[in-house]
Amino acid sequence: MENLSRKRAALLITFLVITWGGNWPLAKFALAYTPPVLFAGIRTLLGGLILLIFAIPRLKQLNLKQAWPIYLISSLLNIILFYGLQTVGLNYMPAGLFSMIVFLQPVLMGIFSWLWLGESMNAAKIIGLVLGFSGVAMISASSLSEHISTAGVLLALATSVSWALGTVYVKKVGDRVDSIWLVTLQLLFGGVFMTALGSGFESWSSIQWSPAFIISLLFISIFVIAIGWLVFFILIGAGEASKVASYTFLIPLIAVMSSTLLLHEPFTFYLLIGIVFIITSIYLVNRKPKQLVAKCG
């Protein structure tokens, strides 16, 4: 793949950060019209069907016979648990607050990559990990005064853990499968499972197919899930993966700001301090040591 121009790369990164940041309040809004598990299933299934259009021309790279365990495990961690826990958890706490806890994922990845991938652990990462968990503690203190459910905090942490485990797993085995097929089958497998699960425990008649819900569902399925993942892999293929990672800290900030503006969610002093701690934590965990930067320069 040809290298992207700086302008195009900046536009794609901006698109990714804005859509993934706006996903949280939009998903919270949509949950007023639908049961959570069915919503998680429908949006991921739609996203997978859209990506299937791009994956089919790469059919020779599917390698389903040998790679199906990778597709299933990745689907369990990155889709079924991540989107399932996320969608249920948003019922218990504000979307902005929930997203801040979920975006401890890069911090948790620092631990898991150190344990299972043999990546280095330096002083900056250790300080970052401490700040990250301190940030969650501050947000939890905020939740006590705001009467936010403890279940919501636990579901947000579980969402973050599943995403971190899924990312480390894909990082470990990703060279064995085609990236587009990996994401497509993740969404299809996860979407079918959660739709079936929701159909068994929830009622389709509970879904209010209002114009507002349909627009939200289509936006999330098309732009956040399908196109968002495509953009992500375009950036990776063009050598922009590190830049994408360095900008992910903006996603929870956008989620908090948009949730405050659009959903009128509370913004407290404790939440502010927690945000500062978590953002600093993510930066410290993901920054390259000066020696490595000097060698790469």
DSSP string over 194-229: HHHHHHHHS-GGG----HHHHHHHHHIIIIIIIIHH
CB atoms within 10 A of CB 205: 6
8-state DSSP, 174? G
The H-or-E segment that residue 276 falls in is helix 269-286
Comparing 188-202, 216-230, 266-280, the range with the smallest average pLDDT is 266-280
- Computed on alpha carbons and rounded to an integer, the radius of gyration of the chain in Å comes to 19
Taking the C-alpha atoms of residue 183 and residue 168, their distance in angstroms, rounded to an integer, is 15
Of the pLDDT bands very low, low, confident and very high (cuts 50, 70, 90), residue 236 is low
- State the Cα angle at 50 between 45 and 54, rounded to 5°: 130
Of 17, 164, 155, whose CA–CA distance to 103 is shortest? 164
CA-to-CA dists, residue 27 to 53, 165, 278, angstroms: 25, 23, 22
Does the pLDDT at position 291 exceed 90? no
Q: What is the pLDDT of residues 97-140, one digit of tens each?
A: 788 788 777 778 777 877 877 777 778 777 877 787 777 677 66
Please tell me the number of Cα atoms within 13 Å of 107 on its side-chain side: 28
Of the pLDDT bands very low, low, confident and very high (cuts 50, 70, 90), residue 48 is very high
pTM of the full structure: 0.79
Of the pLDDT bands very low, low, confident and very high (cuts 50, 70, 90), residue 294 is very low
